[in-house]
Amino acid sequence: MTDPMSTLADRLGGIAYGGDYNPEQWPEDVWHEDVRLMREAGVNLVTVGVFSWSRIEPRPGAYDWALLDTVIDLLHTAGVAVDLATPTAAPPPWFSKAYPRSLPLTASGTRLSHGSRQAFCPSSPDYARAADAVVGKLARRYADHPAVVMWHVHNEWGNHNALCYCDTSAAAFRTWLRDRYTTPARVNDVWGTDFWGQRYGDWEEIDPPRDTTAFRNPGQELDYRRFSSDALLARHRAESALLREASPGIPITTNLLGTLEKKVDGHAFARQSDIVSVDHYLVAADPGNHIDLALNADLARGMADGRPWLLMEHSTSAVNWQPVNVPKEPGEMRRNSLTHLARGADGILFFQWRQSRAGAEKWHSAMLPHGGTGTRTWGEVSSLGAELGAMSEVRGTRVQADVALLFDWHAWWALELEARPSQHLRYLDTVRDWYGALWDLGVTCDLVAPDTDLSRYRAVLAPSLYLVSDTDADALHSYVRGGGHAVLGPFSGAVDTHDRVRTGGYPGAFRDLLGLVVDEYLPLRQGESALLSDSSRALLWSERVASRGCTARLRFADGPDGGPARGGPAVTRHSYGGGVGWYAAAALPAQSLRDLLDAVCREAGAEPAAAVPPGIEAVRRRAGDRSYLFLVNHTDREVRIPVAGHTALDGSALPEYVSLPAGDVVVLRERAVPQQASLHREGAR
């Protein structure tokens, strides 16, 4: 089957470029200027209608299409394609007044008011009915409009309203539990309700995990997160079904939030989308935010199963929702955009086209700033449009990663439940540390769900995969037995899918694979550290490991400086079947983590995309005999990179090296296709 993203790119005639277009905020004469400037900036795709419900249906059941009709026609005449959004992320005020019980209820029982967006309970039948009605009308009205090339379902599912604790949610939760567990007895079993005498005798006794006296039941809490994500997924599916029915050929997407959104299971939503789209925003205060960008791009590609994906939103400059909203440096927006492209995006879009003059986001940057076309941002936006237009040949190529990093929302939810060994060991922190080490090594990885087919990877990393199903744990064992290299991080494999401890010694799911047993987790106090045999110091976490066949590659130092696990193994290696299982029994400091992953990659034969100096990001996209090397200079000086034999996209030959100025990016068309990476079974480098 043809990939929907490539069909879309063909229709657009190149890489998608554009952003959210909210003409509702402006008078009609501005729309004409908008489309003229869109053409000038090389825009070929805009998302329309995201928050337009109160315009489309100003009174219950009374529809007014005048604005959308005019805008979509205008865009079409100008040759700008439309990603038409369902407006369901912003129910109109009349809806909330008519159905006050559809407003979300917090865990402490406060009913939220209308006045922002996503002010609805995910399980509200009134919301579902109203949303389906407007989506059905929208779908039928525009299904055959030649401008509409994609449907954009909702906006960032669950960003503001994923967890609702009202009585309607309680009833829906009971139904969800009944479908999954059949009897209350089974719920008692998986939630361990004999602890603190919480046994349920009847479905009606079960409520959402609302605020209570002390710790909530962790199984209930975990299932509530699953239920809540599923409730929104059901809405996503319902809207998608209506769109598909009206226009079978038009691809459907929804903008996901990657690691910015803990509350919904991104993999589940990605699997229900024809094209995977993500939004990404930099945290201005984070000096390593370009690494977070790369991580999220690699997660988007993982969610898209390696296929090209869309960057649906990022910012041209400052956002407005951080404590201090620092504008991007000159060139930073281009660097961000081309890094997403390097990592497999076939489209670069922004929130939003024209900067608002009123409303909650008037201080958020846009493609066309308050200052108009004389601004630095506009200059950068239009030159990026031209540059992407000239790079069309890159689209459709794919990033090939030798390494998979398992990323799982369920493990994230479970690891961060209340009452655990350390509040300071956080899922995303560990994932970021591990990803950062790999980024430093220049090795590209896909962030994938634990149930992904791992056979195409040379190495698999699982930083703190605290919760894992038996099936996924078995698959990782088979992968290693078959010759793969797996690296597990601290506090992995501790519990089953219900957050019940796997007894008999930690890490219960992986003792055999790793050839060890841990009898106690030994978290470190804040400010405390454990000296390691490579002279670095572990913070936060240590474990007492006893070997059952593994060998220690790094140890906690003997003596009191080594911390509570003094003298014991901190990093282990274990031959298992035809492969190797590695374990990090500590929250390793950056250098030790880099050394560990370097050793694993070398043994597994996972190579960097190119041999480049530190601070240079190198990623390759390829398809058939087309191959492109992206080089991004994150340093503050010009760097000479020895990549002989390449040609820049502008056609100039680069016989020996590339000189890349500080902050710059170059895309090289490679003359010869470098040796294709072989599977892990074929041996080490």
Active site residues: 156, 313
451 and 475 Cβ atoms separated by less than 8 Å: yes
Classify residue 129 as exposed, middle or buried by CB count within 10 Å of its CB (0-12, 13-18, 19+): exposed
Query: Least distance in Å: CB of 279 to ligand GAL?
Result: 5
Measured between alpha carbons, how far is 572 from 625 in angstroms, rounded to an integer? Answer: 41
Nearer to ligand GAL, 49 or 218 (CB): 49
Nearer to ligand GAL, 349 or 604 (CB): 349
Nearer to ligand GAL, 229 or 316 (CB): 316
Residue 547: phi and psi, rounded to 5, are: -75, 140
660 and 638 Cβ atoms separated by less than 8 Å: yes
Helix axes 376-389, 28-41, angle to 10 degrees: 50
Nearer to ligand GAL, 322 or 647 (CB): 322
Query: Least distance in Å: CB of 12 to ligand GAL?
Result: 22
Query: Which amino acid is residue 527, in one-letter code?
Result: G
Neighbours of 549 (CB within 10 A): 13
Nearer to ligand GAL, 40 or 361 (CB): 361
Tell me which residue has its CB nearest to ligand GAL: 351
Taken in order 57, 58, 60, 61, the sign of the CA dihedral is: negative
Query: Which amino acid is residue 500, in one-letter code?
Result: R
User: What token pair was written down for 320?
Assistant: 């407005």
Query: Least distance in Å: CB of 22 to ligand GAL?
Result: 9
149-177 exposure pattern, b = at least 16 Cβ within 10 A, e = fewer: bbbbbbbbbbbebbbbbbebbbebbbebb
Quick one: which H or E segment has residue 383? helix 376-389
Measured between alpha carbons, how far is 241 from 262 in angstroms, rounded to an integer? Answer: 26
Beta-carbon contacts of residue 572 (< 8 Å; ≥ 6 apart):
514, 515, 516, 545, 547, 550, 551, 552, 553, 582, 583, 585
Nearer to ligand GAL, 409 or 510 (CB): 409
Quick one: which H or E segment has residue 655? none
Nearer to ligand GAL, 12 or 282 (CB): 282
User: What token pair was written down for 662?
Assistant: 């500080």
Nearer to ligand GAL, 41 or 319 (CB): 319
Query: Least distance in Å: CB of 362 to ligand GAL?
Result: 11
Query: Least distance in Å: CB of 13 to ligand GAL?
Result: 27
Query: Least distance in Å: CB of 314 to ligand GAL?
Result: 9
Measured between alpha carbons, how far is 428 from 523 in angstroms, rounded to an integer? Answer: 17
Nearer to ligand GAL, 319 or 494 (CB): 319
Q: How do the residues of the chain divide into helix, strand and coil, expressed in percent and rounded to 5?
A: 35, 20, 45
Nearer to ligand GAL, 319 or 660 (CB): 319
Q: Which residues face 587 on adjacent strands?
A: 539
Long-range contacts of range 418-426, CB-CB < 8 Å, 24 or more positions apart?
A: 418/215, 418/216, 418/218, 418/221, 419/215, 419/218, 421/491, 421/521, 421/523, 422/523, 422/524, 422/540, 422/541, 424/523, 424/526, 424/540, 425/464, 425/490, 425/491, 425/523, 425/540, 425/541, 425/587
275 and 5 Cβ atoms separated by less than 8 Å: yes
Quick one: which H or E segment has residue 22? none
Nearer to ligand GAL, 95 or 351 (CB): 351
Beta-carbon contacts of residue 666 (< 8 Å; ≥ 6 apart):
630, 631, 648, 658, 660
Residue-level length of the chain: 685
Binding site for ligand GAL (CB under 6 A): 155-156, 159, 279, 281, 313, 319, 351, 361, 364
SS3 385: helix
637 and 479 Cβ atoms separated by less than 8 Å: no
Query: Least distance in Å: CB of 29 to ligand GAL?
Result: 25
545 and 555 Cβ atoms separated by less than 8 Å: no
